[in-house]
Amino acid sequence: MHQRKLLIKKGAEADIYLIDWYGRKAISKVRTPKPYRHKSLDDSIRKNRTIHEGNMLSCAKMIGIRSPFIYFIDPVRAEIVMEFIEGKNAKEMMTHDLAYRIGRYAGLLHSNNIIHGDLTTSNFIVGKKLVLLDFGLAFHSVRNEDKAVDVKLIKTILKSAYSSVYERTFNGFLKGYSKMVSAKEVGRILKNVYDIERRGRYARIV
């Protein structure tokens, strides 16, 4: 199927390869076997998670999120072959305007009750369009608490990695987010973010 492949990222759940797919550059994401799980259970988990990620990528596209096109899914090998995205990683070029665009994507997902699960600047590629990657942890939910976890994660990253421009970038994110989510809902979600942060502070004190 694909003979040449280069490992570009080794993750806890999956390995990411750059491959040649019928003459074009592509990405192969392979969920690696876990020796601590019974083989039949492990095979089932990896198969189901692979299919689920493919479905979540399709759901994101249907609502207008630019994400990689899927070329091939092999549930048995727990592999997804998808489009290679040209561009720069958002984590290398964070600005107010980029944070605004990221906020719009997050708001679009949440207004359609999709939780990304790993909403970090590393999962956005800036090219001709903004592209959102890695839907391996994505799921459907109507709960504001789940949406707040996404928002809390991006807030934490902006605060720690871009401290000098944190206020500006997080405000940009919220402006973009608020374009897609009602003001009332945003207020509820931000209250949940605050509650999560407060629980974290309390846990550290105790």
CB 141 within 8 A of CB 102: no
* Domain match, 95 and 181 both: yes
pLDDT of residue 201: 59
Crossing angle between the packed helical segments 96-111 and 144-161, to the nearest 10 degrees:
170
| Catalytic one of 97, 118, 134, 146 | 118
Q: What is the pLDDT of residues 126-139, one digit of tens each?
A: 998 999 999 999 99
Question: Looking at the predicted structure, is the pLDDT value of residue 2 above 80?
Answer: no
The structure tokens listed for 6 are 């280069």
CATH number at residue 43: 3.30.200.20
* Domain match, 144 and 58 both: no
Q: What is the mean pLDDT of residues 106-125?
A: 97
Q: What is the pLDDT of residues 131-189, one digit of tens each?
A: 999 999 999 999 999 999 999 999 999 999 999 999 999 999 999 999 999 999 999 99
Q: Which of 47, 68, 83 is the last residue of a domain?
A: 83
pLDDT confidence tier of residue 198, bands split at 50, 70 and 90: confident
23 class by beta-carbon count within 10 Å (0-12 exposed, 13-18 middle, 19+ buried): exposed
pTM, to two decimals: 0.90
Q: How far apart are CA 17 and CA 145, in angstroms?
A: 34
| Domain housing 122 | 88-205
Q: What is the pLDDT of residues 35-93, one digit of tens each?
A: 899 999 999 999 999 999 999 999 999 999 999 999 999 999 999 999 999 999 999 99
The structure tokens listed for 28 are 């192969």
pLDDT confidence tier of residue 205, bands split at 50, 70 and 90: very low
Based on the residue annotation, tell me whether 118 is a catalytic residue of this protein: yes
What residues form DSSP beta bridges with 189? none
* Domain match, 79 and 92 both: no
Q: How far apart are CA 182 and CA 184, in angstroms?
A: 5
